[in-house]
């Protein structure tokens, strides 16, 4: 699957969420109610978008590191940033036993990359390079903007459904939904919005995996890193400073030890795609690139 197709999938999902918003808005709150809900969602989430780097760094208690303190980290990120033709991001280390990493920032000029002490201890240099290429791809792909758009619409749907129920669903003469249907929409509309929002997050992870594999030219290294990280994240308790709202930032879900494993219906609510599927896609990229070192679990 090419990066272009992944981008199209993401925006199709966002368009689906926008369509759901229009349907819910027209049925429950009318045009004015829908516009008010959308405005509130946009203001709140784009404020989060503008300060996303500062919020993520503060809540994860990441500390800035100098090149003298982390020469390997600086060397790898500088080389990848130059290959991607993007500015050098600010680098941080979070004192967390759980191995993980995240990138944030509204654009490449305001980007920050943070790795945990656990990941620095777990991965070899080749695997760490694959993870950092994935994180820089999130920045290059403007994923904070995409996530903010999806979150804004999702929040608006939830607000609109609850607002409409509280005020009796608007003008009953023009509202085809009865009280039971209103309650149905109040429950299901936010769930549908959340599922689409999670799907957007998973699509962006696939995109960053692919872009990162192309940037590092070593998809097997990222595949190996993902498998190691999944095993470790399921064993090491999540840090108390990380909330569910921030889980999507990380390369693997830091709360997986709390959620357990499995697919099916529960996977609809996951911010990250299954690691096995990510590894399979990376193996396909390796074969398309003409071979290279195969990944073996």
Catalytic residue status for 69? no
User: DSSP secondary-structure letter at 239?
Assistant: P
User: 100 near 119, Cβ under 8 Å?
Assistant: yes
User: 134 near 209, Cβ under 8 Å?
Assistant: yes
What would the two tokens of residue 151 be? 């979150």
> Among all chains, which residue has been given the structure tokens 């999806």?
150
User: DSSP secondary-structure letter at 250?
Assistant: B
**What's the rounded Cα separation, in Å, for the pair 187 and 266?**
17
C-beta atoms surrounding 39 within 10 Å? 12
Burial letters for 178-189: b for 16+ Cβ neighbours within 10 Å, e otherwise?
A: eeeebeebbeeb
Given 135, 205, 210, 230, the catalytic residue: 135
**What's the rounded Cα separation, in Å, for the pair 21 and 163?**
14
What would the two tokens of residue 241 be? 């400073």
Q: Is 7 exposed, middle or buried, given 0-12, 13-18 or 19+ CB atoms closer than 10 A?
A: middle
**CB contact set of 53 (below 8 Å; sequence gap of 6+):** 90, 104, 105, 106, 110, 111, 112
Active site residues: 135
């Amino acid at each position: 699957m090419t990066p272009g197709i992944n981008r199209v999938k993401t925006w199709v999902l966002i368009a689906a969420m926008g369509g759901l918003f229009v349907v819910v808005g027209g049925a429950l709150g009318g045009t004015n109610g829908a516009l008010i809900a959308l405005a509130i969602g946009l203001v709140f989430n784009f404020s989060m978008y503008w300060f996303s780097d500062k919020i993520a760094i503060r809540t994860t208690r990441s500390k800035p590191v100098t090149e003298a303190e982390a020469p390997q980290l600086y060397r790898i990120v500088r080389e990848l940033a130059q290959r991607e033709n993007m500015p050098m991001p600010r680098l941080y280390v979070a004192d967390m036993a759980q191995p993980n990493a995240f990138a944030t920032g509204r654009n490449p000029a305001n980007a920050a990359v943070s790795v945990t002490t656990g990941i620095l201890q777990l991965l070899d240099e080749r695997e760490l390079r694959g993870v950092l290429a994935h994180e820089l791809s999130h920045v290059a792909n403007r994923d904070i903007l995409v996530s903010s758009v999806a979150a804004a619409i999702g929040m608006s749907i939830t607000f609109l459904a609850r607002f409409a129920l509280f005020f009796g669903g608007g003008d009953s003469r023009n509202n085809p939904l009865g009280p039971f249907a209103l309650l149905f929409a109040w429950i299901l509309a936010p769930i549908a919005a959340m599922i689409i929002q999670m799907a957007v997050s998973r699509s962006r992870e696939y995109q960053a995996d692919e872009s990162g594999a192309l940037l590092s030219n070593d998809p097997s290294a990222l595949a190996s890193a993902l498998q190691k990280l999944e095993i470790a994240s399921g064993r090491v308790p999540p840090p108390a400073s990380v909330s569910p709202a921030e889980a999507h930032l990380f390369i693997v879900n830091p709360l997986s030890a709390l959620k357990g494993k499995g697919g099916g219906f529960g996977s609809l609510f996951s911010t990250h795609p299954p690691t096995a599927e990510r590894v399979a896609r990376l193996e396909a990229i390796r074969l398309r690139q003409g071979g290279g070192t195969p990944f073996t679990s």
